[in-house]
Structure 1
Amino acid sequence: MNIFSVNNILVHIPIGRAGYDLSWVEAIGTAFCLPCIWLASRERVENYAFGLVNVTCFAVIFFQIQLYASLLLQIFFFAANLYGWYAWTRPRENAAAAPAVLWLAPARLALCACACAVAIALLSVSIDTLFGAITRAAVALGAPRPARLAPDPFPVWDSTVLILQVAAMILMTRKYVESWILWSTTYALGVLLYYAQGVMVMALENIVLTAISVSGTREWILAARGPRRT
């Protein structure tokens, strides 16, 4: 029994016309995702431990359902969770040096917006080629060969979620308020994306995550103190 297969069903959920088969890997990933986001909104470093399990499970899911940009996003998240854990806990000479919740300076905000727009455009037209190259490299290293490589069904939206969540994760490791605005936006997009791809529980989960991230946005806005960073 392969617990990492999306075909290994934990329970049948009677939602929709035909119901939904919840796999073990999706259930485990979802169970670790919700506390991860909630803890992050409260500035609790424990969120990164939950995040490492969550992104590992979701990477396995996205590989099997061929949402290529989302798969690459989980690989980035794994590394970013390790860095964020370090950045939030590394020893400092004084408590005042610890990262505080702040807003991006206007110039950096504009630069970030432009960089995201360019990256989304470039990735949208190259995601299938990029994932094909990664798949061939993985197979050469011994990974199982997929039955077939279909084109990404939603390259623009898939790429948008990837790029904006990469930006959100980077900003969150440095405790910028804008990270939660991006999380709220991408989770709302994720509801539509995962529903269209038939991953119903992850779509429902993103509804909950949207609510949590909106709450997190409010918490971090209230926590933001001092001058803007330059």
Structure 2
Amino acid sequence: MDFAAWFDINNTLVNIPIGDGYAMSWIEAIGTAFGLLCIWYASQEKTINYLFGLINVTLFAVIFFQIQLYGLLLLQLFFFCANVYGWYAWTRPTSDSGDMLEVRWLNKQKLAFTAAVSVLAIGLMTIYIDPFFFALANIAVDGLNMFGAELASPALEPDAFPFWDSTMTVLSVVAQILMTRKYVENWILWVVINVISVGVYAAQGVYALSIEYAILLFIAANGTRQWMNTAKSNKAKQSQADVTAEEVTA
């Protein structure tokens, strides 16, 4: 079999009896498996999640291009960089004493700023998602042709769900950034994203992804619960440390 065929969503691994039947591709199955591993280990605050994440986003970028969800395709490029940064941030001491990044909540000012930027970004992306991606795709093709690729100009279809695609894209960017800094709010956003994702992927006929995101919804809810408890514990330890420091200096 041609190597490139393994990345084709029409290269079927197994037929699943969902609705009229669903042919799940190899790339979809492998990407789904690594995605589940990534989110599960992230909810457990395990750094290995970033390795699984790098594999997952690479495969999903190929899938999203084939089903015309351009915002989510661009999102995978961001996720790749964010996974590399997150791996670095989670393993790098934050002080000379060797303290590591801890789970905590956003303060009120950061929360308000994050919400305002998210709403604005969703609105702008909904309007400009098609022209932006079309321009980016043509720039990429022109760049490759400069090196002798001889590719034809891409014939792209309009985004299938511009508002929902933009909402998932923007919130996913925000959630991933918050995760790399270990803010609890990242999991709350993942719950919202997963609810939307289940509907969008089902409407696009990508049922394996829809099922995956239904599973991820429960993992995100569990991650929210666990990180809330961890943040509460960290805050209590910090308060005790502050009291001890005051007693020492008194």
> TM-score scaled by structure 1?
0.94
CA contact (8 A) 2:138 2:154 kept: no
Quick one: distance in 2 between partners of 1:190 and 1:163? 13
Moved more, 59-68 or 137-146: 137-146
Deviation at 1:154, TM superposition (A): 0.5
Partner of 1:138: 140
- Percent identity for Structure 1 against Structure 2: 53
- The one of 235, 246, 250 equivalent to 1:226 is 235
Runs of 4+ off more than 6 Å: none
Quick one: distance in 2 between partners of 1:145 and 1:216? 45
Q: Which runs of 5+ in 1 are unaligned?
A: none
Deviation at 1:10, TM superposition (A): 1.1
Amino acid at match of 2:48: E
1:15 correspondence with 2:32: no
1:93 correspondence with 2:96: yes
Larger radius of gyration: 2
Partner of 1:6: 9
SS of aligned partner of 1:213:
helix
Aligned length: 226
Amino acid at match of 1:226: K
Deviation at 1:147, TM superposition (A): 6.3
Partner of 1:76: 78
Cα deviation 1:137-172 (Å, max 9, x = unaligned): 121133755763111111000000000010000000
CA contact (8 A) 2:138 2:153 kept: no
Quick one: distance in 2 between partners of 1:222 and 1:94? 25
Partner of 2:211: 204
Cα separation, partners in 2 of 1:26 and 1:146, compared to 1, 3 Å: farther
Q: Which runs of 5+ in 2 are unaligned?
A: 239-250
Cα separation, partners in 2 of 1:145 and 1:70, compared to 1, 3 Å: farther
Quick one: distance in 2 between partners of 1:145 and 1:189? 34
Cα deviation 1:50-73 (Å, max 9, x = unaligned): 000000000000011110111011
> TM-score scaled by structure 2?
0.87
Quick one: distance in 2 between partners of 1:13 and 1:23? 11
Partner of 2:31: 29
CA RMSD of aligned residues (A): 1.6
